[in-house]
Chains A and B, each alone.
Chain A
Amino acid sequence: MLMTRIIPCLDCRDGRVVKGVRFQGLRDAGDPVNQALRYQAQGADELVLLDVSATRRGHGHQVETVRAVRRELGIALTCGGGVRSADDAAELLEAGADKVGINSAAVRDPELVAGLALRFGQQCVVVAIDAARSGESWLVRVAGGSEATEIDAVGWAAEAERLGAGEILLTSYDRDGTRDGYDLELLRAVSSRVRIPVIASGGADSPEHMAAAVAAGAHAVLAASIFHDGVTTVQAVKRRLGELGLAVRSHPTEAAP
Chain B
Amino acid sequence: MAERSVAIVHTGAANLASVLAVFSRIGVAARVTSDANDVAESAAVVLPGVGAFGAAAEGLASGGLGEALRDRIGRDEPTLAICLGFQLLAAESAESPGVVGLGVFESAIEPVPAEGLAVPHLGWNRVRAGKGCALLESDAMYFANSFALVQPPPGWASATTVYGERFTAAVERGRVLACQFHPELSGPAGRSLIERWLVAARLEPAAC
Contact across chains for B15 and A219 when beta carbons are under 8 A apart: no
Give the segment of A89-97, A136-144, A228-236 that binds chain B: A89-97
Contact across chains for B13 and A119 when beta carbons are under 8 A apart: yes
Contact across chains for A74 and B190 when beta carbons are under 8 A apart: yes
Contact across chains for A74 and B51 when beta carbons are under 8 A apart: no
CA distance A119 to B124 in the complex (A): 25
User: Is A166's beta carbon under 8 Å from chain B?
Assistant: yes
CB distance from A197 to the nearest CB of B (A): 5
Contact across chains for A196 and B123 when beta carbons are under 8 A apart: no
Chain A residue, CB-CB nearest to B50: A121
- If A1-B126, A94-B17, A98-B18 touch, does A74 touch B120 (CB 8 Å cutoff)? no
Chain B residue, CB-CB nearest to A93: B15
Chain A residue, CB-CB nearest to B126: A1
What per-residue 1/0 map shows which CB atoms of B157-184 lie under 8 Å from chain A? 0000011000000000000000000101
What per-residue 1/0 map shows which CB atoms of A133-170 lie under 8 Å from chain B? 00000000000000000000000000000000011000
Contact across chains for B120 and A40 when beta carbons are under 8 A apart: no
Contact across chains for B17 and A95 when beta carbons are under 8 A apart: yes
Chain B residue, CB-CB nearest to A253: B188
User: Is A255's beta carbon under 8 Å from chain B?
Assistant: no
User: Is A75's beta carbon under 8 Å from chain B?
Assistant: yes
- If A2-B123, A252-B188 touch, does A123 touch B144 (CB 8 Å cutoff)? yes
Residues of A whose CB lies within 8 Å of any CB of B are 1-5, 40, 45-46, 70-77, 93-98, 118-124, 166-167, 195-198, 219-220, 249, 252-253
Known: A97-B15, A123-B120, A197-B120. 17 other contacts (CB 8 A): A2-B121, A5-B123, A5-B124, A40-B187, A45-B142, A71-B21, A71-B25, A73-B21, A74-B25, A74-B184, A98-B15, A98-B185, A122-B146, A124-B50, A166-B120, A166-B144, A196-B118
Chosen A-B contacts, 10 in total, with CB atoms closer than 8 Å, are A3-B140, A70-B17, A71-B25, A97-B15, A119-B13, A120-B13, A123-B50, A195-B118, A196-B120, A253-B188
Residues of B whose CB lies within 8 Å of any CB of A are 13, 15, 17-18, 21-22, 24-25, 50-52, 84, 117-126, 139-140, 142-146, 162-163, 182, 184-191
